[in-house]
Amino acid sequence: MIGPDIAGIAEKLGAAADDATAIPQLAAETGLDVDAAYAVQTALVKRRLDRGERLVGLKMGLTSKAKMAQVGVDEVIWGRLTDVMRVPDGGGVDVGDFIHPRVEPEVAFLLDRLPDPGEPVGSFTRAVRAVAPAIELIDSRYANFTFSLPDVIADNTSAAAFVVGPWSPVPDGLDNLGVLLEIDGRVAQVGSTAAILGDPRRALDEGLRLAGRHGVRLRKGWVFLAGAATAAVPLRPGAHVRATVEKLGSASMKALP
Ligand code: OOG
Ligand code: MG
């Protein structure tokens, strides 16, 4: 049997992102399963690397019930971050560069000494040098921000841009910190880091395990996004966005008018 056209699907998704134009879902029609979807993601990210982008991190998706419920997919997923996706703290994006961007509050880890493939994290403070509040801008390439599990995996888990706030040393507890997403100074989402797999440190175990299954090794110096604690909110032109995590401070960005 001839399998799905991995390169062709990656090209469609890449062009949709480049042109900021939504496409129909394609997993059902092309017979894409989860493994083939990660192969598409690899090809899609390679397309970026081939034009000079650098891998700078890994992001987890759907690590909270709020996110799973919002998109109707209930499996933890992971995707890749490149340097071009990074927006400086306080920086701006143009909504026109995206299809239907949403923002969500995240916790970022700065990776340090990681275990060998297949080994558990062991000491979190050895594996993670610092933590920071962060904002992820997600932008599904599928019409109506609607997708199946293999669809969203193939689409690099909707990754589009991210902002990392100031790094702090790892605090004693990360498992029950208040999380706030503000738009133009008004509270848009409230949550707790406990929503992230019970403790965001678990997201790193999951990331190592799930990415390791596909032969992907996390690297020292990479940024790791543990997944949003709350649902995501549409990003409108001119909006000022701030994500605050108790004890860690805030990350912010704005959308150009
Ligand atoms: C998929 C990406 C999910 C998160 O933090 O849960 C994600 C999506 O919601 O489009 O990044
Ligand atoms: Mg996210």
pLDDT attached to residue 117: 78
- Quote the CA–CA distance of 148 and 105 in Å, as a whole number: 23
What's the chain's average pLDDT? 96
Q: What six digits make up the tokens of 85?
A: 């996706």
201 alpha-carbon distance from chain centroid: 16
- Which ligand is nearest the CA of 228, by number? 1
Q: What is the mean predicted confidence (pLDDT) over 198-207?
A: 96
- Contact residues for 169 (Cβ-Cβ < 8 A; gap 6+): 130, 131
The model carries a pTM of: 0.97
How remote is the CA of residue 2 from the centroid of ligand 2, in Å? Answer: 34
Q: What is the mean predicted confidence (pLDDT) over 205-221?
A: 94
Edge-to-edge strands, sheet with 92-93 = 92-93, 249-255, 240-245, 178-183, 186-192
Q: What is the mean predicted confidence (pLDDT) over 194-199?
A: 97
| Count of H-run helices and E-run strands, the chain | 7, 13
How remote is the CA of residue 2 from the centroid of ligand 1, in Å? Answer: 31
- Residue from 156, 141, 162 nearest 224 by CA: 162
Q: What is the mean predicted confidence (pLDDT) over 77-97?
A: 98
pLDDT attached to residue 73: 96
How remote is the CA of residue 228 from the centroid of ligand 1, in Å? Answer: 7
pLDDT attached to residue 122: 82
Q: What is the mean predicted confidence (pLDDT) over 104-121?
A: 91
Specify the ligand 1 atom closest to the Cα of 140: 10
Q: What six digits make up the tokens of 247?
A: 């004890």
Q: What is the mean predicted confidence (pLDDT) over 218-231?
A: 97
Strands (E), 165-248: 178-183, 186-192, 223-225, 233-234, 240-245
pLDDT attached to residue 136: 98
- The per-residue pLDDT for range 137-185, each reduced to its tens digit, is 999 999 999 999 999 999 999 999 999 999 999 998 999 999 999 999 9
139 touches ligand 1 (CB under 6 Å)? no
pLDDT attached to residue 253: 98
| pLDDT surpasses 90 at 2 | no
Confidence of residue 1 (pLDDT cuts 50, 70, 90): low
DSSP sequence for 71-118: HT--S-EEEEEEGGGEE-TT-EE-GGGSSS-EEEEEEEEEE-SPPPTT
pLDDT attached to residue 221: 98
Mutate to test the pocket of ligand 1, among 58, 67, 102 (most ligand atoms within 8 A of CB): 67
State the DSSP H helix or E strand holding residue 127, giving kind and residue range, or none if neither: helix 124-127
62 touches ligand 1 (CB under 6 Å)? yes
Confidence of residue 116 (pLDDT cuts 50, 70, 90): confident
pLDDT attached to residue 118: 76
Specify the ligand 1 atom closest to the Cα of 62: 6
Specify the ligand 1 atom closest to the Cα of 158: 10
108 touches ligand 1 (CB under 6 Å)? no
Asked if residue 230 lies in contact with residue 66, where contact means CB atoms within 8 angstroms, the answer is: yes
Asked if residue 196 lies in contact with residue 203, where contact means CB atoms within 8 angstroms, the answer is: yes
How remote is the CA of residue 66 from the centroid of ligand 2, in Å? Answer: 12
Specify the ligand 1 atom closest to the Cα of 67: 6
Amino acid at 8: G
How remote is the CA of residue 154 from the centroid of ligand 2, in Å? Answer: 15
- Which ligand is nearest the CA of 79, by number? 1
- The per-residue pLDDT for range 6-64, each reduced to its tens digit, is 999 999 999 999 999 999 999 999 999 999 999 999 999 999 999 999 999 999 999 99
- Quote the CA–CA distance of 98 and 197 in Å, as a whole number: 29
Q: What six digits make up the tokens of 17?
A: 């992102």
Q: What percent of the chain has pLDDT over 90?
A: 95
- Which ligand is nearest the CA of 77, by number? 1
Specify the ligand 1 atom closest to the Cα of 59: 11
- Quote the CA–CA distance of 243 and 181 in Å, as a whole number: 5
